[in-house]
């Protein structure tokens, strides 16, 4: 059997088994009388215009904005940049610690200290 014959047989089988629906743009399969030759015809039902229903918009309410006094932060100890060879890690309890490369004994005691 050729592909065209198989497709024709499949469409004919589908057209026999499906009920005809002609509502809201659904596909309607019409069967061809046995005397006529060719594949079944396909036509589209009339589509009914649908109405769009949206929820009401939210109420227009303003959120009060309070502007407080401007507070400048001044540290008790002057901030000094960290030296380039140091790096930050975690201590035994998860607290931040400053470690120095190539000093394993110092870093070990710093890791254990709170």
For the chain, what are the domain ranges?
3-44, 84-114
Rounded distance between C-alpha atoms, residue 113 and residue 89, angstroms: 13
Residue 51's pLDDT band, with cuts at 50, 70 and 90, is confident
Higher pLDDT, 20 or 56: 56
Residue 109's pLDDT band, with cuts at 50, 70 and 90, is very high
Rounded distance between C-alpha atoms, residue 89 and residue 99, angstroms: 7
According to the model, what pLDDT value does residue 22 have? Answer: 47
Average pLDDT, the chain: 74
Query: Which of these, 12, 67, 68, 10, lies nearest to 41 by C-alpha position?
Result: 12
Higher pLDDT, 8 or 45: 8
pTM check: above 0.75: no
Helix segments in the chain, DSSP class H: 3-17, 104-112
Higher pLDDT, 8 or 26: 8
User: 94's torsion region: left (phi>0), alpha (psi -120 to 50) or beta?
Assistant: left
57-78 mean pLDDT:
76
């Amino acid at each position: 059997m050729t592909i065209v014959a198989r497709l024709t047989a499949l469409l004919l089988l589908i057209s026999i088994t499906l009920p005809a629906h002609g509502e809201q743009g659904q596909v309607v399969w019409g069967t061809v009388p046995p005397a006529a030759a060719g594949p079944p015809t396909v036509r589209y039902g009339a589509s009914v215009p649908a109405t769009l229903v949206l929820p009401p918009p939210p109420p227009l309410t303003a959120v009060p904005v309070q502007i407080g006094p401007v507070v400048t932060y001044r540290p008790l100890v002057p901030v000094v940049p960290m030296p380039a060879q140091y790096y930050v890690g975690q201590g035994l309890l998860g607290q931040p610690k400053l470690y120095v490369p190539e000093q394993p004994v110092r870093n070990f005691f710093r890791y254990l200290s709170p």
